[in-house]
Amino acid sequence: DTAVSQTPKYLVTQMGNDKSIKCEQNLGHDTMYWYKQDSKKFLKIMFSYNNKELIINETVPNRFSPKSPDKAHLNLHINSLELGDSAVYFCATGTTGGWGEKLFFGSGTQLSVL
Amino acid sequence: QKEVEQDPGPLSVPEGAIVSLNCTYSNSAFQYFMWYRQYSRKGPELLMYTYSSGNKEDGRFTAQVDKSSKYISLFIRDSQPSDSATYLCATPPAGTSYGKLTFGQGTILTVHP
């Protein structure tokens, strides 16, 4: 039973389209995240949600809109996709706040914008 | 200057070798350090974490922190082909982090039989 599951695994789309990535976790953690990994493997946080409340928004363009219907789900909607959005997007979950959270990552969604 | 720097490699070693993976960081306020392992087409998974200076050992893996030089290391003894992966060091900011980890670029390691 996968702890953090993301769909789809691969997403190929044209510039200008709108797409969504879904994430679900069954670990019972309060906090969920979206991280972006670029082609050089740099992994950077985009958003953090705690109990459905937005905690961190790392100056991500407002074309990216996360939505958390409940604490087990965190979806990412992207409007007007651009070439530079091509990357691997990881959903993650972890324990609440404090030092040294241990993050559990999904397998990633590889987004290719053509 | 990036907050966490890591040589991307790639690093190729024979099976059984001792592997040394390293990161440097710039902010002396960082106190917690982690190593994540990422297999190809998978998400990172936490391998080890350490707090403050010193060594921490877990099986064939040893994590080391030298705060005076802002240097963190991961040693793998008796490396196996199954250790082939990208290894990422990470640290949360000082204070409450809410999972906002700063990652190094990752070092690609290949252990060949």
Q: Which of residues 56-85 of A touch B (CB under 8 A)?
A: 56, 58
Residues of A in Cβ contact (< 8 Å) with B99: 31, 33, 45, 48, 56, 92, 94, 101, 103
Dihedral of the alpha carbons of A62, A72, A40, A57, in degrees to the nearest 10: 30
Higher pLDDT, A74 or B54: A74
Q: Which residue in B97, B107, B108 has the most chain A C-beta atoms within 10 A of its own C-beta, making it the best mutation to test that interface?
A: B97
In the prediction, which pLDDT does B100 show?
Answer: 81
A99–B92 CB contact, under 8 Å: yes
Give the CA radius of gyration of chain A.
13
Does A59 score more than 90 pLDDT? no
Going A44 to A47 to A51 to A55, the CA torsion angle's sign is positive
Residues of B in Cβ contact (< 8 Å) with A105: 43-45
End-to-end CA distance of chain B: 37
Among the residue ranges A5-14, A26-35, A49-58, B104-113, the one predicted with the least confidence is: A49-58
Locate tokens 């937005």: which residue?
A54
Convert the pLDDT of each residue in B32-55 to its tens digit: 889 999 999 999 999 988 877 788
Mean pLDDT of A43-57: 86
CA distance B75 to chain A (A): 20
In the prediction, which pLDDT does A94 show?
Answer: 84
Convert the pLDDT of each residue in B61-112 to its tens digit: 999 999 889 999 999 999 999 999 999 999 887 766 657 888 999 999 999 9
Does A80 score more than 80 pLDDT? yes
By the CB < 8 Å criterion, does A8 face chain B?
Answer: no
Going A47 to A50 to A54 to A58, the CA torsion angle's sign is negative
In the prediction, which pLDDT does A100 show?
Answer: 55
A101–B92 CB contact, under 8 Å: yes
Question: Is the CB of residue A89 less than 8 Å from the CB of residue A109?
Answer: yes
Higher pLDDT, B100 or A26: A26
Q: Which residue in B39, B101, B108 has the most chain A C-beta atoms within 10 A of its own C-beta, making it the best mutation to test that interface?
A: B101
Mean pLDDT of A62-87: 94
In the prediction, which pLDDT does B98 show?
Answer: 59
What DSSP designation does B7 have? -
